Chain A
């Protein structure tokens, strides 16, 4: 025993190194992107507080762009109002139908931390459990898709950005209704990749891609991006399509969090099939 202790003492530098590396690797392994420990719930309050104070300060420098974006979005929404449509009194009929249910509700949140240069990027928002945010809610901004909520503390949530290894979103080419999957292979934060579109379909550069609404997370028709490069890897029967994200993921300030009110029903139904 004494010899063992003496041995450890003699190589204490190496053993301390080993212990610290093991602790780090355990921390990495325990934190899969789905589950985060109770401890991080507490630390998120601390880091979130610091990020909030910092972004309160820096957000002033981007007020002008943000105002423009909001004004543009307002203009677009004005166009959709019934007041903006040509109406013929005898033909229009407004029905206040309470059965016409709502599926999605939206909450505004501010980005208080964001990164785009890592392989796995996350975004922190200033909304959490207290505001009704839960995991698996979609996040987008007026220009396009942003990510999915993966963990929530009382006042904050972490969003898995589209620029992340684990991101997989169902999307389709608008013109053809062809469905595929969006992933990010690292590299430029302005571009993503669309997979699983069969190689016999005629796709053109410039085709727009938007969400399919099949994922139970994202509503339909949220803009994703435009096709830039189309090719087929040798031996594959599906296209690999490089596209440009419509949202500038490096300049996010305010985003919308989507709550799918029917999500539980949809998930239960799909589970009832896969269980068999």
Chain B
């Protein structure tokens, strides 16, 4: 129990720090605001209980909110993403049994599985973020561009970090 979640707990704090100290302040052409912290939600083990999945996602969202003066915004998006996770795993194809200690990453599930799994969830997260942040019909085009660009960039960062950690594991 301790071993399975120790790494996740560490990742929880590291990702919040990385998000609020670096990523939120890096300007990549105006529209792009990658939210790498969702990596935490993606990487929680398959067998994580539902309540823990939802509450830890809520907490990491709230943690990011605390530092960006946007109370509740990231929390709402993260909880929505966590809620969809079990459904997406079922659709993408869950491993037959969890006995092999499989993790929802590229190493265990393959690149294509991880890509579709991460892409759907990141898009859902950024969609809620965009809708709640400030929805105005007049700005629908701008919101759409932000949504696509930021989600793609988050996905890119997630996959890069996934490969970075994988190499170290071997």
Contacts and interface: CB of A to CB of B under 8 A. Distances in A.
B41 to A, nearest CB: 13
Nearest to A166: B134
A195 to B, nearest CB: 13
A198 interface: no
Nearest to B73: A28
Interface residues of B, number: 38
B151 to A, nearest CB: 14
Contacts of B66: 43, 46-47
Interface in B57-100: 58, 61, 65-73, 75-76, 79-80, 82-83, 86
Interface size class on chain A is 35 or more
A112 B14 CA distance: 20
Contacts of A158: 69
Given A24-B61, A47-B66, A117 B142 contact: no
Contacts of B139: 185-186
Given A17-B83, A20-B55, A24-B79, A118 B133 contact: yes
A162 B37 CA distance: 27
Contact of B58 (A24, A114, A187): A24
A27 B80 CA distance: 15
B63 to A, nearest CB: 10
Interface stretch (B25-33, B101-109, B113-121): B25-33
A250 interface: yes
Interface of B: 21, 24-25, 27-28, 30-33, 50-51, 54-55, 58, 61, 65-73, 75-76, 79-80, 82-83, 86, 132-134, 139, 142-143, 146
